Amino acid sequence: MDEHYDALVIGSGEGGKYLAWHLAKAGQRVAVAERRWIGGSCPNTNCLPSKNEIWSAEIAHLARGAGRYGVETGPVAVDMRRVVARKREMVSGLIDMHLNRFAESGAELVMGTARFSAPKAVAVALNAGGARTLTAERIFLNLGTRPMIPDVPGLREAGPLTNIEALELDALPTHLVVLGGGYVGLELAQAYRRFGSAVTIVEHGPRIAGREDPDVAAELARLLGAEGIAIRTGTEILRVSGRSGEAVALTLRDPEGESAVEASHILVAAGRTPNTDGIGLDLAGVALTASGTVQVDDRLRTTAPGIWAIGECAGSPAFTHASLDDFRVIRDTLAGVPRSAAGRQMPACMFTDPPLGRIGLSESEARAGTEPVRVVKLPMAAVLRTRTTGQTSGFMKAVIGPDDRILGFTMLGADAGEVMAAIQVAMLAGLPYTALRDAVLAHPTTAEGLNSLFSAVPAS
């Protein structure tokens, strides 16, 4: 059997699968080696499954508060088995969709664990048994990342949950301790609080959402605290004892001294580590950075000729849409069309309630620069659409440059991700903020708030 291919993709995540489908449809012989998750982590364990269960949690929250809208529902009960079953049904449909796309494209899906045996040769230990050695003219690394377990005495032995296991719980934790106050930790903390668990967030840094502006983090903390979530910032975990899922005890230290927290479950959401170990990249001549990601240039080429890297393993932002754009960079590079991964606008959206959307520079980043900027801020309560729904929490703000162009936008409020997209289009087009200030936007919509926001920009 001929085991030589025009292109071999290791990992079927977002950028890798789209590249495989594209090359196969163009007539190339393409193989994709995938260890477990067909389509990558996004449709199986991360983005879409989490948003599915987060939506169930939001429905529970809305039902409990329905009385203030004049709707009586009676007591609200959450059946975690049905929550998880709904999520699994969605995932099953997504896997079927991916299998159909592979079949339609002509790209061959090889299920197994891949490891380099030579610069352009990859040995695949097949999940069904046996092995194959695949060679290719071009190889694309789409290796992804995995949750990182901090080096805390007793933590690994406690068998903590990661986001993967947290989305498979068919019984509600009595008390969930979330280690990490980033996007994943905050989303799941709020979801489980709304399902009915007691929740404590433990964050080593001085605030949750540490990459956001202080006012954003403070408002998030206020809103989550109002729902009954305990937040411990500036807190170090000294040791853990017990077993997650049964009973665990955490010894913590903050500026006030040591304290203990007892819980039923621990969820680790303290960052991720690249899946670049144990795959034989040294045999291929592929160098790694100090953080363990694949060393690439702005076209995503590695240090080995004919080998590229895609997505988080290449140090790209940890977003599915970043991996998809990595595909575009490589696609165009292969076609001789100049395209770079450097300097691209990268939107971020956190699916808390209210959600957070950010594009471009934050206020902190802009003020740290050398050119003068103007910052304008509008409370969501000033957007009339929120008065109709009661979703008045949060604010939106924009950073304006000296040439009147929008340098950045942050919104913590209902529909943040959708409103952010309108700003991003304006930024891509190089429009001045006045274009949105004076645009005729439909009333009453959340996006209409952009008229008010940009009308308040101070004179330069």
Does residue 324 have a known ligand-binding role?
no
Q: Which of 22, 98, 175, 443 is catalytic?
A: 443
d(CA 359, CA 411): 9
d(CA 164, CA 147): 9
Does residue 257 have a known ligand-binding role?
no
Does residue 187 have a known ligand-binding role?
yes
Does residue 181 have a known ligand-binding role?
yes
Closest CA to 301 of 333, 278, 325, 276: 333
d(CA 236, CA 256): 12
Amino acid type, 309: A
Does residue 186 have a known ligand-binding role?
yes
Degrees to nearest 5, angle at CA 155 with 154 and 159:
110
175 is a catalytic site residue: no
Does residue 363 have a known ligand-binding role?
no
Spatial contact of 429 and 369, defined as CB atoms under 8 Å apart? no
Integer CA distances (angstroms), 348 to 50, 175, 317, 319, 446, in order: 16, 29, 9, 8, 19
| Close Cβ partners of 236 (under 8 Å, ≥ 6 residues apart) | 204, 252, 253, 254
| Close Cβ partners of 269 (under 8 Å, ≥ 6 residues apart) | 147, 162, 163, 178, 179, 180, 182, 184, 185, 188
Does residue 256 have a known ligand-binding role?
no
Numbered residues of the known binding site for NAD(+): 180-187, 203, 271
Numbered residues of the known binding site for FAD: 51
- Active-site residues, by number, are 443
Numbered residues of the known binding site: 51, 180-187, 203, 271
